Every structure is written in C-alpha cells, then in structure tokens.
Structure 1
Amino acid sequence: MKWAFLGWLRPLDIVVDPLDTAHTRHMADLHAATFVRPWTDGEFHDMLAQPTVFGFVARELTWGKAKVLGFVLARGVAGEAEILTIAVTPDWQGHGLGRKLMDAVLAKAHRERVESVFLEVDETNKPAIALYKKLGFFQVGGRPDYYRDRSGRKSAALVMRRDLR
C-alpha cells in the first residue's frame, strides 16, 4: 500500500473498475512502459470490442482526478479464461496492485462459472511468477524462446493454470 502526504499521511484511494474503450490510450502508454513489444491503442480497442474480452483498470483518485496505474485484459471462451496481458506502472509494482487486478479477474471468472484460467509469463519475471503461484496458478507447459528482451536475449514463456472448479 502506498501513502500520500496531503496535510496528513493516509493511504491513497485506489479503485478497480471494468475496462472499456475509453481506457485504450492509457493502456497503450502503460503497456509501452512495461513491455518490449507494446500493443497499440488500436489493438486494445479492437480486443475490447470483442464480446469475450474483458478486463479491469486500477486508478488512483487524488484531488478529483484519476490516474491509471495498471490494468489486466482477459478473454473467456468455452469454460476457460486466458489472461491476455497485465501491466502495472513501474512505480507501483510490488505494492499489491497486480494482486488487486488479478483478484478482480478471478472473481469475474468465478461468477461466470469458468473452470480454468490460463496465462503465459516470461520465465525471467520472478515477481509475477511468485504472485501467480500465491494466487494458486501452477505451471502446465512452456514455450521456448517465446520472449525477447531489449538486448535481444530470448527466454521461455511459462504456461500456468488455475482451476476454479
């Protein structure tokens, strides 16, 4: 949890709401800050226009303004859901925001009677892997040389699953 000094010390107000196409520019900017191959606002817009795609946005509310701090995008099909991407602004990584976003997706998946949730994560992203394990995900496969970092070094994608039923 982060705190703000607004004449006194208090926790910042963070809200998690459903994503919609009004968020695509913020999503693209945040994705570019956290991924080597970022998605464009047009790609996010096209995905959110699909009836099976859903997600959540985390925003900080300060002085009547809302700043996007993170988002998660998922797709549900035939009793399964897939986390398509999740991004948290670097300043907020490690403060529980990714957990809040994942909790929102898992709660919706549970309400929708989804049986399993899948995701892919870079094998070098140890904080994300630790979070997913805490949330009950386990590795079910991998994709060698799936990711490439800014220097061109390749790494595997770990395919993880959490069963909800």
Structure 2
Amino acid sequence: MRWWDIDPVLELEKDLFPEDAWSRGMFWSELAHSRGPEATRRYVVAVEDERIVGYAGLAAQGELGDIQTIAVARDHWGTGLGGQLLTELLRAATAFECAEVMLECRVDNVRAQKLYERFGFEPIGFRRGYYQPGNVDALVMRLTTAPDGGTAAGSPSAQGTESNG
C-alpha cells in the first residue's frame, strides 16, 4: 500500500464509525502534517494479506501527544492489534519527545478504555457531547511518559504490526 492510498482506510472508517467517519478531505489535511522534516503527525497502518485491518494516528504539539484514533477492523477485535497500534503510537510519542499523551475515548467503549488503562492511561475527566453527530460523551485519558522515553506505567510489548506512515 502506498501512503496516498486512503480509499481502504476510508472504507474501514465508514464501517467502524458510520455516523462520525472522517471525510477524504479531513484525512488529506491530517496526512499533510505527517510528511517531511517538520512532521507533527504519525500514522500507522496494519496490513494483513494486502488488506488494511487497522490504522492509528498521533498528533504532537510540543511535549503533548494527542492520539487521534485507533481503529481495528471488527474481525480483528480481541486479537491484540489495538495494543500493537497503540505501542507504535507511543513509540512515535517518544520520538517526538512528548512528556504526556492524551486521548479521548467514547464513554460507551469499555473495551478501548480497558486497553488504554493496561498501557497506563488514567482517566482525568469527561468531554460532553464531543462525538458528533452521535453526541456521545468522551472520557479524557492521560499517560505521563518516563524520562527514559518509556511510559510511567510501562506498556505491553507489541509484535508484528506492519506500519506505513
């Protein structure tokens, strides 16, 4: 897959987030920040048998990393792929020298919340009506990174994530 082949990502996005899917323009805008020496974004894609089965993104702003998304194809839920993608994003946060990583997770997505907690993320509050048009609240979570570039709580190891960014 070439980095500009976003049609498969758009298809997976629409399947997973039918009411909240990003448009092609939103993806292009984000990808524009992920290329070149001044890049402030990192995107990874998980591919299996030439099929995109997951993708994830991180935006860095100084010492703060913001996880934009982690999306895993439904037939890969429970396989550990979400953790592998998260590990790649945390590596990117380390490369960007982020002291903290933030994310927002739908309050009704308990599976994702448990994944983030296993990696050391802590809930710090709620953002009301964030996910539009579904108007679902988000749980805001934070991870503080350790001076050595690891996480304060450590993280499960990841293996086998194929990433293109």
Q: TM-score, length-normalised on structure 2?
A: 0.78
Determine if the alignment matches structure 1 residue 98 to structure 2 residue 82: yes
Query: For the Cα contact (< 8 Å) 1:141–1:160, is it kept in 2?
Result: yes
Determine if the alignment matches structure 1 residue 147 to structure 2 residue 131: yes
Whole-Å separation in 2 of the counterparts to 1:53 and 1:102: 14
Moved more, 67-76 or 41-50: 41-50
State the shift of 1:20 in Å.
Answer: 6.8
Query: For the Cα contact (< 8 Å) 1:24–1:42, is it kept in 2?
Result: no
Specify every segment of 5 or more residues in structure 2 that has no aligned partner in the other structure, as ranges.
34-38, 147-165
Alignment partner, residue 135 of structure 1: 119
Judging by fraction of residues, say which structure has more strand: 1
Q: Mark the structure with the bigger radius of gyration.
A: 1
Query: For the Cα contact (< 8 Å) 2:106–2:138, is it kept in 1?
Result: yes
Change in 2 beyond 3 A, CA 1:155/1:43: closer
Q: Which amino acid aligns with 1:39?
A: W
Whole-Å separation in 2 of the counterparts to 1:48 and 1:104: 17
State the shift of 1:86 in Å.
Answer: 1.5
SS at 1:22's partner residue?
A: coil
The share of aligned pairs that are identical, in percent, is 31
Coordinate RMSD, CA, aligned: 1.8
Query: For the Cα contact (< 8 Å) 1:53–1:75, is it kept in 2?
Result: yes
Alignment partner, residue 30 of structure 2: 47
Whole-Å separation in 2 of the counterparts to 1:20 and 1:132: 29
Whole-Å separation in 1 of the counterparts to 2:117 and 2:16: 21
Whole-Å separation in 2 of the counterparts to 1:108 and 1:82: 11
Query: For the Cα contact (< 8 Å) 1:146–1:156, is it kept in 2?
Result: yes
What number of residue pairs does the alignment pair up?
140
Specify every segment of 5 or more residues in structure 1 that has no aligned partner in the other structure, as ranges.
1-18
